Amino acid sequence: MPNLAAVLKEEIVRLARKEIRKQTTVLRKALVQYRKDIAAMGEIGRASPKLLRTIFLVPVSKGTNVVKRDRRRTLPLLIAALPMLFGRPALVSPRTTADVGGPATHYSGCLMFFDDFDNRENERLLLDYFAPQRLLRSWYRFGEPPAGKDYRHRRPVVEALEKQGVLLGGGGSLSVVSELDLGRRDFNRQWLSVNLDGTVYRTHDRWYGTLSHPGFRAYLIEKALEQVKVGVKELHFGETNSKIRFDDYSLGLAGDGGFVQWIRKKYETKNAAWWAGYLGDLGTLISRDGSISRADFIAADTDHRENFRQEWGRPDSWHGKNDHDQPAFLAYLYRRNLDCFLSELRERLAAGGFDDVSIDIWGLADWIVPLRSKCDAVIESIPDQRWGFDWSRLDFPTDSERERIKKIMAEMTAQAEPAQMIFAIDHPQPFGMFRRLPDRRQADLIRWFYEISRNMDANFLFRSYSLEQEDLGPMTKDALRELCRQARQQARVTLPLQ
């Protein structure tokens, strides 16, 4: 016997999504009868299996196939039944998602990204032209900003957007540190990523903090709260794998979640001889729970480098894998660090009464999927040259490429669940490639990627290109404006759950 509640729940979700998206005319009529339907059903929370079968008009057949006689009559009752099956309060009265607010609505409607929005004249022109509802990640903190961009003094910018009904998003890098950070009294240089010999790691003239250190996580959370306290409602975080090198917390010389603790558990059944042969003195000390120093790691990296490096993983590997393409310690560390950061951030937001703030991250990887502390949304690039696609080809996309792209995007959307999936042409490489395309090609690709995203219950993030409106070709501008209009319209007919 199939589980009736599970079958009903699955079918209701499928029907509700499809009908809301494709039957908007029917839905508007159904909304007029919404409260009457709920009243007629009475105490829906104590509905019996017989009543639930009545909602569907016909009995449930084998497996998950539910025969539907009249979807137009069924939809209002399906919507009314959602609270009972999902354990949520009743649906709110029909309003737009912008009216309702809350984290679940921050990713509906027309989403745009403005780089460091400051309500400048040319930005206001773009706002008036496209009329977005949310400006996601538009106060992205890439290290401590200069005094002129101090978020604590930018409340008027938020107020200007609020008057237009536009939500402002912020967030920042979980890795990059600026010289201004280093000069702050509340910044500790022990939080910086270091090489195995203990020297500070730098590349591209940048410093990086290690998310493994609880002090650095707390520092980043305080910076996020500075934005939230002036009205930011969405926090986006990038570089989620951080620039992990060999700080004490990552090695396991401090804390209880580093390499020492991880590898000891991984090979807990191995004997002393195996440990000595595998990692030398470091292996012996790990197996005996002895006192370990950085010098022991340096020795292992010299005499047993292959074993140590394959266990650790490739530095800067987004997926946390080793040279054999296998998940290594870094995959575990990335997940643990992000889990700690998200849970600690959630606690601080709740303590401050900021439960209406949403959290999203950039990018998907295998180590992100099993996170215990779930984010509200995931933003990821449309499949580009990293997947072998050349957007500049005149025949792109071919029929086979179309199907492959749809498959990739569908897999990403499934991986992100229960978080909302948002696709964007935003990562530096695909964005640079996209900007070199002719105006007509840009417009066509935006329409196509938007349609695919919406068809799989994902959303699409539009980028404002730069502060110069003329960077947008006329066809691309028209396409973005029309798609924004469609997105706003779809948001108005969506039934949000509180």
Q: Which two tokens stand for residue 69?
A: 């006689």
> Which strands make up the sheet holding 202-203, listed edge to edge?
176-177, 206-208, 202-203
pLDDT of residue 214 exceeding 60: yes
> What pLDDT does 253 receive?
97
Helix (H) or strand (E) holding 209: none
More confident position, 322 or 87: 322
- Rounded to an integer, the average pLDDT of 169-177 is 96
Closest CA to 496 of 168, 98, 136, 164: 98
> What pLDDT does 340 receive?
97
Phi, psi of 18 (to 5 degrees): -70, -45
- Rounded to an integer, the average pLDDT of 43-61 is 40
The DSSP symbol for 377 reads E
More confident position, 347 or 34: 347
pLDDT of residue 405 exceeding 90: yes
pLDDT band per the 50, 70, 90 thresholds, residue 403? very high
The DSSP symbol for 62 reads S
Instruction: With 0.85 as the threshold, say if the pTM is over it.
Output: no
- Rounded to an integer, the average pLDDT of 302-330 is 94
> What pLDDT does 341 receive?
97
> What pLDDT does 431 receive?
72
Distance in angstroms (rounded) separating the CA atoms of residues 443 and 462: 12
CA atoms within 13 A of residue 106's CA, in its CB half-sphere: 28
pLDDT of residue 243 exceeding 60: yes
Angle, vertex CA 369, rays to CA 368 and CA 375, nearest 5: 75
**Domain ranges within the chain, ordered by starting residue:** 4-94, 95-117+376-460+468-498, 248-314
More confident position, 380 or 71: 380
> What pLDDT does 467 receive?
43
DSSP per position, 410-447? HHHHHHHTTSEEEEES-SHHHHHHHHTS-HHHHHHHHH
The DSSP symbol for 289 reads T
Distance in angstroms (rounded) separating the CA atoms of residues 28 and 23: 9
Asked which of 32-41, 220-229, 243-252, 296-305 is least confident by mean pLDDT, the reply is 32-41
pLDDT in tens, 60-80: 333 433 333 344 444 444 444
pLDDT of residue 428 exceeding 80: no
Q: How many CB atoms lie within 10 A of CB 356?
A: 13
Mean pLDDT (the chain, rounded): 81
> What pLDDT does 95 receive?
30
Judge contact between 219 and 190, C-beta under 8 A.
no
Closest CA to 208 of 192, 228, 189: 192
pLDDT of residue 25 exceeding 90: no
CA atoms within 13 A of residue 105's CA, in its CB half-sphere: 22
pLDDT of residue 268 exceeding 60: yes
- Rounded to an integer, the average pLDDT of 202-211 is 92
pLDDT in tens, 476-493: 889 999 999 999 988 865
pLDDT in tens, 183-197: 999 999 999 999 999
pLDDT in tens, 78-125: 444 443 334 333 333 233 333 335 677 889 999 999 888 998 888 888
Q: How many CB atoms lie within 10 A of CB 145?
A: 18
pLDDT band per the 50, 70, 90 thresholds, residue 205? confident
> What pLDDT does 80 receive?
41
pLDDT of residue 468 exceeding 60: no
Ranked by mean pLDDT, the top range of 102-106, 138-142, 220-224 is 220-224
Distance in angstroms (rounded) separating the CA atoms of residues 442 and 465: 12
